[in-house]
Structure formats: C-alpha cells, structure tokens
Amino acid sequence: MSFLQALDYHHWLLLGLLLLVIEVLAGGGFLMWLGFSALSTGLVVFILPWFNWELQLVIFAIGCILSVFIWWRFFRWTIDSKNSSLNRRGSDLIGREAVLKEPIANGFGYVMIDGVRWQVTSSEDLPEGTRVRLLKQDDLIFTVEKLDL
C-alpha cells in the first residue's frame, strides 16, 4: 500500500510506455488505448502534482473507459461476415463464366479458372466444353448454370 501512496507521474509514464511496447509486440489495438490513458494520467499528475493516489486511479479509470469507448466507436474494424470473402477461397469467382473441362455427370463436373481446377455441380448433366456461369459457392463446390449462346 505504501507504493500507491508514493505514486507519481513517472510511474504513469512508465506504465503507459510499457503498455505501448506490449501492444507493439502483441498487436490488436486495445492496449494502445490503455497506454494512452496512462500517459495522459501521467501528464495530468505532472501538471497537477497534488493529486493523491486515489484520484490518480480515478483519472486513469475514466481515461481507460473513455479511450476504449473511442476505440470501440471510431477505430474498431469489423468484418461483415455475410459479405466477407475471408476464409472463403474462390468466393470472388461467383458470377464468372467458365468452360467445362470435364462433363457434368451425376451432378458433378470440373472447370479450370486461372489455372485452378474447381468442382462444379448442376441440376442437369452437361457435356465437356459447355460455357457455364458460377452462381453460388457451397464450401469449395460451385453451382453453375448453362449459358445460352
């Protein structure tokens, strides 16, 4: 408890720098805002040195809440899972046209797109060489429709 009573601005500055270094090593963006809060608390205590340790902790806590709120509101990146192609290899191919390299027989066949062999399915059997459009993707299998030329 005696450490808290001796809490001074340089302790806050060191805590802030430590949190920023950990953030650089770990990533994620969260600890950076807590580090900024600790640095701000150190600056306030440097300017107004008569603050006791209880008030310093209150200032730090308010700074943490405000900085996390600002991060959450303005700087947080979100991924729209419905429209994201993250971890969905080939999802950017939907809508493209291709030529069947192997016929669709018993519901399944193959196309080559950009040098990659993709399995396709259709409700009807189609011969090799048929032009198709990729409609949707289920795992790594595309549903296709025959293009009328």
1-16 residue pLDDT tens:
566 667 888 899 999 9
Q: State how far the Cα of 101 lies from the Cα of 106, in Å rounded to an integer.
A: 15
- Counted domains in the chain: 2
Domain range holding 123? 91-146
- Is the domain of 110 the same as that of 49? no
- Is the domain of 9 the same as that of 71? yes
Q: Does residue 16 form part of some domain?
A: yes
Residue pLDDT, tens place only, 51-89:
888 999 999 999 999 988 888 887 766 555 566 555 667
Token pair for residue 77?
């990146």
Token pair for residue 68?
């996390």
Q: What residues contact 44, with CB distance under 8 A and at least 6 apart?
A: 51, 59
Q: Does residue 84 form part of some domain?
A: no
Q: Which of 53, 38, 40 is nearest to 6 (CA)?
A: 53
- Is the domain of 23 the same as that of 50? yes
Q: Does residue 86 form part of some domain?
A: no
Q: Which of 10, 11, 9, 29 is nearest to 20 (CA)?
A: 29
Q: What is the pLDDT of residue 88?
A: 67
Kindly report the pTM of this predicted structure: 0.51
DSSP string, 54-98: HHHHHHHHHHHHHHHHHIIIII-----TTT--TT-TTGGGTT-EE
